Amino acid sequence: MADWIYILNPHRDVLDQEPCDKEKILKLALEDPEAEFWLSRRNRMVPGDRVWFFFTSPDAAIAAVGEVDEEPRADPDDPDVSYLVPVTLLAEGTQALYRTPVGRDELGLGQVRSVQKVKPAALPLLLARAGL
């Protein structure tokens, strides 16, 4: 199993025509947790991997978590989207992270890319805050 950080910029990223902010993801986790997220490259995600959602604003922090359902796949219906990865948002973990997010400084993040692996030193903190 691998752990990934997925970057969401609420000023740029949308889901269901709404800004992809912490409130939107929390609502989805509680009401409709299965979602698909866009990837610029396929990555090596496999079912069971965890995805930690890092929101760039208003405060740069991880405030949601999900689990990969299927390997990333090309989207034949949208040539502008390279890949989609189906993820089930974890309601309890997302609620816990929403209340007490893990900030950028706590993660030891340098340059932030769209998707990257979680640093091994940061994983115990993420798991503890999410109650996993």
68: closest CA among 49, 44, 52? 49
User: Which of the two residues, 95 and 36, has the higher pLDDT score?
Assistant: 95
CB atoms within 10 A of CB 43: 20
Q: pLDDT category, 9, cuts 50, 70, 90?
A: confident
Q: Which amino acid is at 32?
A: D
Domain 3-122: assigned CATH number: 3.10.590.10
Please check the confidence at residue 105 and state whether its pLDDT lies above 90.
no
- Cα distances (angstroms) measured from residue 63 to each of 16, 67, 72, 85: 19, 14, 22, 19
pLDDT value, residue 68: 97
- The two tokens of residue 96 are 């816990």
Q: What secondary structure does DSSP assign to 36-89, as a single string? A: EEEESS-TT--TT-EEEEEE-SSS-EEEEEEEE-S--B--TT-TT--EEEEEEE
User: Could you report the per-residue pLDDT of 20-74, keeping only the tens digit for each?
Assistant: 889 999 999 999 999 998 888 777 899 999 999 999 888 899 999 999 999 999 8
